[in-house]
């Protein structure tokens, strides 16, 4: 198991520019309960929606989250729809390129993408940021027959609050390409992030 980092998401994110990705404008609150808040946002040029989800954890140790987020090749154990992750190239201790395969429900065909991302851990500010985006890279021959996702990126922000709780925020968007109807993709946008957060919090005990 490689312990390098970089990461993302499944229905992680397409944005026209970095400003679009980080913008706090035009979010519509979709669901708000005691466990999480989920927002949706229109993306110019497509009917597929972008998401943002936030939750808090009573887990006190930021290193636990850091270890989880660095363990990219095991993210299929908690990130919804991610079937496998393979390291393609290590750029630095905090940056790498990965091949990700997404497991879509029958009769849809699985998808792949190559992403480059980085993790930043500021121990003084008690914050972790993960940034990922599509990065063109050579596809292994055994995966070359699968549809390639090129419009995908995402961000994680994990910050320890003054009250000791840890705030977790994830923004993402993905256009899976092909002839998948937008309504079906948007159904995943409202359910996938919730499953991802729930799986993530359950798995923390192992890190």
CB 149 within 8 A of CB 112: yes
So where are the chain's domains? 18-206
CB 174 within 8 A of CB 152: yes
State the maximum Cα–Cα separation within the chain, in Å, rounded to a whole number.
50
Do residues 68 and 40 make contact, with C-beta atoms less than 8 angstroms apart? Answer: no
The whole-angstrom separation of Cα 107 and Cα 91 is 37
b or e along 96-135 (b: 16 or more beta carbons within 10 Å of the residue's beta carbon)? Answer: bbbbbbbebeeeeeebbbbbbbbbebeeeeebbbbbbbbb
DSSP letter at 16 equals S
Per-residue tens of pLDDT for the chain, all 207 residues? 444 333 333 333 333 334 454 456 799 999 999 999 999 999 998 999 999 999 999 887 899 999 999 999 999 999 999 999 999 999 999 999 999 999 998 888 999 999 999 999 999 999 999 999 999 999 999 999 999 999 999 999 999 999 999 999 999 999 998 888 899 999 999 999 999 999 999 999 888
DSSP result, 102-129: E-PPTTSPPEEEEEEEEEEEETTTTEEE
The rounded distance, in Å, linking the Cα atoms of 201 and 127 is 17
Q: Please tell me whether the overall predicted TM-score, pTM, comes out greater than 0.75 for this model.
A: yes
**Topology (CATH) of 18-206:** Alpha-D-Glucose-1,6-Bisphosphate; Chain A, domain 4 (3.30.530)
């Amino acid at each position: 198991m490689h312990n390098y980092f970089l990461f993302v998401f499944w229905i992680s994110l397409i944005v026209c520019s970095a400003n679009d990705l980080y913008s706090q404008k035009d979010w519509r609150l979709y669901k708000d309960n005691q466990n999480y808040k989920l927002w949706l946002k229109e993306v110019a040029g497509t009917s597929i929606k972008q998401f943002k989800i936030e939750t808090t954890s009573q887990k006190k140790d930021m290193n636990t989250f850091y270890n989880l987020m660095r363990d990219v090749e095991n993210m299929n154990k908690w990130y919804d729809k991610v079937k496998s992750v393979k390291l393609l190239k290590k750029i630095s201790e905090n940056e790498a390129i990965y091949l990700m395969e997404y497991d879509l429900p029958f009769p849809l065909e699985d998808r792949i993408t190559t992403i480059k991302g980085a993790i930043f851990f500021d121990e003084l500010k008690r914050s972790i940021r993960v940034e990922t985006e599509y990065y063109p890279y050579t596809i292994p021959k055994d995966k070359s027959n699968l549809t390639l996702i090129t419009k995908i990126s995402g961000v994680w922000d994990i910050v320890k609050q003054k009250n000791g709780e840890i705030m977790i925020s994830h923004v993402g968007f993905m256009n899976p390409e092909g002839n998948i109807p937008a309504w079906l993709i948007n159904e995943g946008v409202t359910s996938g992030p919730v499953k991802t957060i729930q799986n993530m919090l359950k798995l923390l005990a192992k890190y």
